Amino acid sequence: MDIKKLQTLVVDALEDVKGQDIAVFETSHLTSLFDRIAIVSGTSNRQTKALAASVRDKVKDAGGQIIGMEGEETGEWVLVDLGDMIVHIMQAPIRAYYRLEEIWGDTPIKLGAAKRAPKKAGDDEPKKISGHLAASKAKVEVSPVIEKKTPAKKSTTTTAKKAPAKKAASKAVGKTVKIAPTKTEAAAVKALKALPEKKVRTPRAAKPAADAAPAKTVIKRIKKVEA
């Protein structure tokens, strides 16, 4: 089967099951085992298995060959070997961890460049539009919308209503306002009152000077009383 036709079948099969972040890379210059590699993300084990089954069935119906499939038991990473093309169907955390794009993704292929399979005669079904291709989305004509600006409402406040506020402010001027002490100030005053009173020491008598004359002592004699 032609590689472009195989690539188109794989992309269509992945889009039918709403595969996310579909990427196709050319690998013929990196290895001789296969010419294309496709990577797609699935949101759950069930979706990854459905994506692999969709690729297998669509390629088989077109007469392609399925070499093998791996990873269908767990559904975290399903690999579909189509001979000339390898399809990696991975859950988002697994894809972010292994980063296969860094290994094989030096030559990406635009999905819109591949030619689709020719439409059968008498088949009037509308062509499906890919949700992740910006080029395939239908353009919608947008008519300009003219917004009417509403006039700003005039303020209903008058100067007469503001006059009482000024009078009240003028009356407040001149009044003394007592401010209660803070908790820290009250605690400091209380602690000072609780302190014991200091004892006042009496002054010592002054020592006599060395040059001063010694004080005279008077000794009185006591007369003996005769019996």
pLDDT for 69: 94
pLDDT of 206: 54
**C-alpha distances in Å from residue 111, one per residue of 14, 79, 117, 159, 166:** 12, 20, 14, 72, 76
Q: What is the pLDDT of residues 59-80, one digit of tens each?
A: 999 999 999 999 999 999 999 9
pLDDT tens digit string along 153-189? 555 444 444 545 444 444 444 555 566 667 777 777 7
Q: Which residues of the chain have pLDDT under 50?
A: 114-137, 140, 156-161, 163, 165-173, 227
pTM listed for this prediction: 0.50
**Backbone φ and ψ of 59, nearest 5°:** -70, -40
Q: HEC states along 116-169?
A: CCCCCCCCCCCCCCCCCCCCCCCCCCCCCCCCCCCCCCCCCCCHHHHHHHHHHH
What are the φ and ψ backbone dihedral angles of 191, each rounded to 5 degrees? Answer: -65, -35
Closest alpha carbon to 90 in 137, 40, 140, 129: 40
d(CA 9, CA 13): 6
Read off the amino acid at residue 17: V
Query: What is the per-residue pLDDT for 183?
Result: 74
Locate 58 and state its tokens: 């669509």
